[in-house]
Amino acid sequence: MKIIMTLGVINRDDLLAAGLLYGTNSCEVCEIVRKTPNKHEIEDPETMLVNVGKVLDPAYGNFDARHAGTTNRSAFVEIVEYLEMNELLSSYPWYKATQMMAENPRKLATYLKISKIHRELDSPFEQALVLMEPKTAVPLAWELLSQLIGYAKKVEKSIIDISSITIEGHQVLVNLTDCDDAARVFHVKEAPNSIGVINKDRTGSGWTIHKFNSRAPIDLSKADKKSVIHHQPDWFFIKTRKMSLDQAIEMFKECITKRVGA
């Protein structure tokens, strides 16, 4: 089995796409090269093409959507959808940013509220990977991706244990699992009208209380300061001392700034 990558400058999409192909094929890829594929390689299902070859044909391992002229989506996104992993990853900001970057960097810049995308914004890990030879970088990219995918699967399993309560007419989530992101993903997928979450503190004996967005009718600065161990500067999140769930719910109730129908 072989992965062929572009002869041009290697970028984030190349590495994510090649890394995902490498890992989901049980790391049995025997060769990772940068070249222009010939006709035999394009038609060979044992040879996978990443952003090269001008063909989009997932069944034959060809993922060059942009140069094929069919779509402006990235090879990584095409592979994620082909492997039916889109629902698993779609709730994560890093995946959304990857989609936007491939489609239109200006769209991502607007999303991040900056003037333009600079390579200097890439993490040191990403900058190091793109400088490596693909045969070294691709397995490392898979190591990083496998951690993200494994975590996403853990979150999916935890979602079933998220409960929903009503406080002063507002939907609030309660998360007793050891996975804080489970509530955020549940909010995105199942409960978009929920305004916040009460999480069991994984590192202490109290709770962490989050509001989901700046428009949520919650002012966490109203919480009893004697019961708050830590808070973010903007009071988007607080960490409480030891207390019961009923006490945490009462604290949340006191922080609601307006009532439904008021």
Domains of the chain listed by start with CATH number: 2-156 (no CATH), 161-255 (3.10.310)
List pLDDT tens digits, range 161-203.
Answer: 999 999 999 999 999 998 888 999 999 889 999 999 999 998 8
Q: Which residues contact 252 (CB under 8 A, 6 or more apart)?
A: 167, 172, 196, 198, 209, 218
| Inter-residue contact 176 to 260 (CB < 8 Å) | no
Rg of the Cα atoms in the chain: 23
**Cα–Cα dist 89/175, whole Å:** 20
Q: What is the pTM of this model?
A: 0.76
* Residue whose C-alpha is closest to residue 47's, from 59, 60, 56: 60
pLDDT for 260 beyond 50 = no
Percent of the chain with pLDDT over 90: 55
Alpha-carbon span 109 to 33, nearest angstrom: 32
Name the average pLDDT for the chain: 87
- Percent of the chain whose pLDDT exceeds 70: 92
Contact between 145 and 22 under an 8 Å Cβ cutoff? The reply is no
What per-residue confidence (pLDDT) applies to 142? 93
Give the pLDDT band of residue 262 (cuts 50, 70, 90).
Answer: very low
Q: Which residues, 6+ apart, have CB-to-CB distance to 215 below 8 Å?
A: none
Alpha helices (H) along the chain: 12-24, 39-43, 65-68, 75-82, 86-89, 93-103, 105-112, 124-131, 134-159, 181-189, 245-255
**Does 120 have pLDDT greater than 60?**
no
Residue 52: how many CA atoms within 13 Å on its side-chain side? Answer: 25
Q: How far apart are CA 159 and CA 175, in angstroms?
A: 9
80 three-class SS: helix
